[in-house]
């Protein structure tokens, strides 16, 4: 009798176990509405920027709210203040934001300090993980660089950028070119002189002090020339002949740029192309929306887009973008609700809608869809940049980057202004970097970037 | 006459009697003042003390493991040895000197002009117009500046072009970028000087001016010896307010030039912000802020000592 009872119990447990935890059940019946039931009425707050991808998300949120009963609110912050605002939220443990925004260069900072939750907790939980989540569907470079730190996934790619070469086909044609420059050298020696005339300039490289100077201008010329910011042992590599060649190239190229180029941020640069002031710019993919819209651009009919030019070391376009992650200080319920939102907004199923509303999804499937390519002619160049030339350490992602970025921004601008020579500027940046990175160089911190 | 003496003695006895008694506490008044006193302590004194205590600690927001360690005067030593701190402080003080001189002179000029005008409507219109720049948010002023000082399609270069001056590279040239910030500050705060001077001029007794006119025909002499003494308290107050203002001037230059190109417009407050919220070294940033506060107090005392003369003293 007793044996029989034990046997029954074991069998019963097995049956329950099989039916409750097998993937087949999850795949068969998982739905967002079901998964969200325990969290209906939960309110989560997201950290957004004032850029097209976030506007797209805002337009899509009502649908998510309708399905799940989870309320999603958001704060829109200028990029320049967003690191500061989120860091204060994390260090204060105030959990003002449940869905946090991680720039490619902040992931090390946020993850190493335990401010964001490893997503394993959710995507391995069958109750919360959409069987169609398909992490492999993201461009690997995006998931790796914006979402992953030390082999742990913390965020899903949401707002994705690659540097592209935008050019004014009409201006190029007028000067006798039927294609954009293929290499940086060509841009300088052939296109530069031919297109700089009558108060117009061949090229504009956004170089305003700040992340624009350090990431968009300085690092952009280091990589294609074979240089890099750091050596293997994390000592600076800016004084290597390759890095110096890149920086000297930038100085030379300045004669074909507007004279106030050090005051150019993204807006000024995009405007300069949109108004026909310059013939070519290398800018983030996200600005396609501005440049292709007749309301904000005069050159919609002349707009050409291709991958960034190659240097002696090949093509190394700028990489940037943001993933969405979850605040560790948020309550369990809010974390789960935030996960459901992030999973939904970055899903393959919503990627097309997100793109059509102005976002730049990180899902590969969208970029091979002929219908989408017809709508967004810059997609092939974008996919090629990510698939072939993606450089996950375009900027290091450790917590010290903001401090280094700041030093580069200062001396990089001084260099461009001619206040100091390239060599002297590099020497000063390297001296500061050695102090900032001392713990890595001397082996007290793991060398992760 | 006798009545008068009685009255005086009566008042005096009352005064001494009140002094002898234990001072009565007016609970109602106290209750009404307390909320604002508490609020002031909370939002004024507490953060100040907190910053002072932070300035003696290691406090890195992005490496929080060893935060809170007492480091003595290490942060202060770092600040004092930092050439960038000194250069940004020098830049700020130069700007302060330039804007103070121009704003005070221009402010007095506008005030004298409006004061001497006989059309009341004009007075009223000018006073209203003067308030507009002061009422604008500095960050917005900075953003407008970006458009106004744009080299290619900015208003400033357009206006200069009308009188035949070539395009100026306002925001891309280190000197001109500083000039742009100074011009913007002068535009925004000269009206404030003018309003203060106007209210000071209203204090000058009319008969005193009439009397002075009998002695001299020189407008300058009347201004120098009759009106200026009445303006001095206002000028001193203006100098103190603007000194504190320029030392913490942040929003406008941040949105206008972000401290660039290079470090050419990096004022001290931008540098402190950079230290605190870009490099996230709160210890050093607090030490900088405390030093600035000390500087501000010293300057304010100096202004009062050197410039403040009550009108009666002259």
Kindly state the average pLDDT of the residues A22-33.
65
The 10s digit of each residue's pLDDT in A142-157 is 999 989 999 999 999 9
Whole-number Å distance between alpha carbons of A363 and A337? 22
Whole-number Å distance between alpha carbons of A93 and A107? 18
Residue B10's pLDDT is 52
Residues of chain A with pLDDT > 90: what percent?
77
The 10s digit of each residue's pLDDT in A72-102 is 999 999 888 899 999 999 998 999 999 999 9
Contacts of A413 in chain B (CB under 8 A): 260-262
Contacts of B64 in chain A (CB under 8 A): 91, 113
Q: Which of A258, A272, A413 sits opposite B262 (nearest CB)?
A: A413
Contacts of B62 in chain A (CB under 8 A): 87, 109, 113, 399-400, 402
Instruction: Quote the domain boundaries for residue B189.
Output: 74-313
The pLDDT confidence band at residue B261, using thresholds 50, 70 and 90, is: confident
| Nearest by Cα to A392 from A142, A136, A106 | A142
The 10s digit of each residue's pLDDT in A382-441 is 999 999 998 888 899 888 898 899 899 989 999 999 989 999 999 999 999 999 999 899
Residue A427 makes CB contacts below 8 A (sequence gap 6+) with A239
A73 lies within 8 A of chain B by CB: no
Within-domain flag for B10? no
A82 lies within 8 A of chain B by CB: no
Torsion, Cα of A270, A276, A277, A280 (10° steps): 60
> A309 φ, ψ to 5°?
-60, 160
CB-CB under 8 Å, B257 with A403: no
Contacts of B174 in chain A (CB under 8 A): 417, 419
CB-CB under 8 Å, A209 with B62: no
Within-domain flag for B28? no
Tell whether the model's pLDDT for residue A371 goes beyond 90: yes
B259: left (phi over 0), alpha (psi -120 to 50) or beta: left
CB-CB under 8 Å, A260 with B170: yes
Measure B190 CA to nearest chain A CA, in Å: 27
Q: Which of B64, B151, B177 sits opposite A91 (nearest CB)?
A: B64
CB-CB under 8 Å, B177 with A263: yes
A328 lies within 8 A of chain B by CB: no
The pLDDT confidence band at residue A5, using thresholds 50, 70 and 90, is: low
A125 lies within 8 A of chain B by CB: no
CB-CB under 8 Å, A210 with B258: yes
Chain B residue with CA closest to A107: the answer is B62
Q: Which of A84, A88, A417 sits opposite B174 (nearest CB)?
A: A417
Measure A268 CA to nearest chain B CA, in Å: 9
Number of structural domains found in chain B: 1
CB-CB under 8 Å, B259 with A260: no
Residue A216's pLDDT is 94
Residues of chain A with pLDDT > 70: what percent?
94
Contacts of A213 in chain B (CB under 8 A): 260
Within-domain flag for B297? yes
Chain A residue with CA closest to B175: the answer is A417
Chain A residue with CA closest to B276: the answer is A84
Residue A25's pLDDT is 43
Within-domain flag for B32? no
User: What is the token pair recorded at A65?
Assistant: 């709210």
Looking up tokens 């350490």 gives: A393
Within-domain flag for B78? yes
A365 touches A352 (CB < 8 A): no
Q: Which of A399, A406, A417 sits opposite B62 (nearest CB)?
A: A399
**Domains, chain A, ordered by start:** 30-161+320-388 (3.40.190.10), 162-318+396-441 (3.40.190.10)
Q: Which of B64, B259, B279 sits opposite A402 (nearest CB)?
A: B279
CB-CB under 8 Å, A399 with B260: no
The 10s digit of each residue's pLDDT in B147-190 is 999 888 899 999 999 999 988 989 888 899 999 999 999 999 99
The 10s digit of each residue's pLDDT in B1-13 is 445 555 555 555 5
Measure B300 CA to nearest chain A CA, in Å: 32
Torsion, Cα of A261, A267, A272, A278 (10° steps): 60
The 10s digit of each residue's pLDDT in B97-144 is 999 999 999 999 999 988 887 788 888 888 889 999 999 999 999 999
Measure B49 CA to nearest chain A CA, in Å: 18
CATH number, position B197: 1.10.3720.10
Measure A334 CA to nearest chain B CA, in Å: 25
| Residues 213-232 of chain A whose Cβ lies under 8 A from any Cβ of chain B | 213
CB-CB under 8 Å, B261 with A263: yes
Whole-number Å distance between alpha carbons of A258 and A274? 15
Burial (0-12, 13-18, 19+ Cβ within 10 Å), A240: middle
CB-CB under 8 Å, A209 with B258: yes
A426 touches A241 (CB < 8 A): no
| Nearest by Cα to A155 from A124, A117, A127, A128 | A117
Chain A residue with CA closest to B258: the answer is A209
Whether complex ipTM tops 0.95: no
A210 lies within 8 A of chain B by CB: yes
Kindly state the average pLDDT of the residues A103-120.
93
Measure A399 CA to nearest chain B CA, in Å: 7
Within-domain flag for B90? yes
Whole-number Å distance between alpha carbons of A334 and A326? 9
The 10s digit of each residue's pLDDT in A255-308 is 999 998 998 999 899 999 999 999 999 999 888 888 998 998 999 999 999 999
Chosen for mutation from B262, B263, B271, B282 (greatest number of chain A CBs closer than 10 Å) is B262
DSSP-based three-state secondary structure for B57: strand
A260 lies within 8 A of chain B by CB: yes
CB-CB under 8 Å, B61 with A87: yes
> B257 φ, ψ to 5°?
-130, -10
A435 lies within 8 A of chain B by CB: no
Q: Which of B63, B152, B262 sits opposite A399 (nearest CB)?
A: B63
Within-domain flag for B36? no
Chosen for mutation from A107, A263, A408 (greatest number of chain B CBs closer than 10 Å) is A263
Q: Which of B150, B260, B280 sits opposite A209 (nearest CB)?
A: B260
Within-domain flag for B69? no
Tell whether the model's pLDDT for residue A14 goes beyond 50: no
B181 touches B257 (CB < 8 A): yes
Residue A374's pLDDT is 93
Chain B residue with CA closest to A413: the answer is B262
A403 lies within 8 A of chain B by CB: yes
User: What is the token pair recorded at A17?
Assistant: 């176990």
Contacts of A433 in chain B (CB under 8 A): none
Considering chain B, what is the average pLDDT of its residues? 87
């Amino acid at each position: 009798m007793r044996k029989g009872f034990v046997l029954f119990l074991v069998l019963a447990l097995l049956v329950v176990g099989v039916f409750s935890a097998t993937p087949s059940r999850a795949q068969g019946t998982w739905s967002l509405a079901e998964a969200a039931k325990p969290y209906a009425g939960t309110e989560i707050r997201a950290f957004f920027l004032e850029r097209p991808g976030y506007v797209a998300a805002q337009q899509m949120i009502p649908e998510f709210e309708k399905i799940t009963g989870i309320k999603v609110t958001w704060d829109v912050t200028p990029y320049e203040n967003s690191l500061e605002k989120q860091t204060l939220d994390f260090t204060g443990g105030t959990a003002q934001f449940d869905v946090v925004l991680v720039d490619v260069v902040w992931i090390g900072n946020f993850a190493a300090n335990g401010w964001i939750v490893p997503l394993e907790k959710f995507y391995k939980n069958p109750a919360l993980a959409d069987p169609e989540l398909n992490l492999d569907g993201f461009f690997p470079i995006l998931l790796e660089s914006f979402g992953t730190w030390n082999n742990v996934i913390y965020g899903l790619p949401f707002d994705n950028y690659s540097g592209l070469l935008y050019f004014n086909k009409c201006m190029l044609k007028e000067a006798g070119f039927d294609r954009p420059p293929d290499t940086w050298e060509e841009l300088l020696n052939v296109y530069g002189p031919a297109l700089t005339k009558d108060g117009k300039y061949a090229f504009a490289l956004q170089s305003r002090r700040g992340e624009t100077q350090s990431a968009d201008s300085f690092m952009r010329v280091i990589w294609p020339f074979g240089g890099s910011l750091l050596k293997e042992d994390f000592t600076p590599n800016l004084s290597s002949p390759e890095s110096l060649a890149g920086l000297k190239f930038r100085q030379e190229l300045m004669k074909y740029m507007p004279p106030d180029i050090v005051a150019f941020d993204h807006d000024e640069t995009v405007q300069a192309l949109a108004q026909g002031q310059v013939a070519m710019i290398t800018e983030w993919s996200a600005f396609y929306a501005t440049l292709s819209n007749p309301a904000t651009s005069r050159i919609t009919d002349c707009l050409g887009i291709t991958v960034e030019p190659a240097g002696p070391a090949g093509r190394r376009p700028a990489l940037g973008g943001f993933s969405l992650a979850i605040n560790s200080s948020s309550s369990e319920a809010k974390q789960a609700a935030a996960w459901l939102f992030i999973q939904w907004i970055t899903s393959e199923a919503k990627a097309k809608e997100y793109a059509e509303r102005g976002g730049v999804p990180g899902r590969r499937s969208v970029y091979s869809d002929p219908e989408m390519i017809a709508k967004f002619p810059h997609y092939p160049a974008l996919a090629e940049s990510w698939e072939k030339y993606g450089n996950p350490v375009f900027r290091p992602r450790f917590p010290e980057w903001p401090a280094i970025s700041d030093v580069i921004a200062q001396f990089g601008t001084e260099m461009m202004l001619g206040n100091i020579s390239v060599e002297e500027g590099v020497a000063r940046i390297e001296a500061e970097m050695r102090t900032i990175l001392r713990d890595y160089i001397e082996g007290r911190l793991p060398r992760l970037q | 006459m006798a009545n008068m003496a009685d009255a005086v003695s009566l008042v005096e006895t009352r005064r001494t009697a009140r002094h002898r008694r234990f001072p009565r506490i007016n609970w109602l008044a106290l209750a009404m003042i307390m909320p604002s006193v508490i609020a002031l302590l909370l939002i004024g004194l507490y953060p100040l003390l907190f910053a002072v205590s932070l300035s003696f600690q290691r406090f890195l927001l992005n490496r929080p493991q060893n935060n809170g360690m007492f480091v003595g005067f290490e942060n202060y030593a770092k600040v004092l040895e930092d050439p960038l701190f000194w250069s940004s402080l020098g830049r700020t003080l130069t700007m302060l000197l330039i804007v103070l001189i121009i704003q005070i002179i221009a402010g007095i000029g506008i005030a004298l002009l409006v004061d001497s005008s006989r059309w009341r409507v004009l007075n009223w219109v000018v006073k209203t117009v003067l308030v507009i720049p002061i009422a604008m948010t500095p960050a917005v002023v900075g953003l407008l500046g970006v458009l106004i000082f744009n080299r290619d399609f900015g208003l400033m270069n357009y206006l200069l072009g009308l009188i035949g001056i070539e395009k100026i590279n306002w925001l891309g040239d280190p000197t001109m970028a500083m000039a742009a910030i100074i011009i913007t500050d002068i535009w925004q705060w000269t009206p404030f000087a003018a309003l203060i001077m106007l209210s000071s001029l209203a204090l000058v007794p009319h008969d005193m001016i009439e009397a002075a006119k009998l002695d001299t025909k020189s407008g300058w002499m009347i201004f120098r010896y009759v009106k200026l003494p009445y303006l001095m308290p206002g000028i001193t107050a203006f100098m103190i307010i603007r000194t504190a203002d320029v030392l913490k001037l942040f929003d406008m230059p941040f949105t206008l030039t972000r401290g660039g190109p290079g470090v050419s417009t990096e004022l001290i407050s931008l540098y402190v912000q950079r230290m605190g919220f870009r490099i996230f070294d709160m210890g050093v940033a607090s030490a900088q802020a405390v030093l600035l506060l000390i500087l501000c107090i010293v300057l304010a005392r100096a202004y009062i000592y050197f410039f403040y003369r009550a009108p009666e003293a002259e």
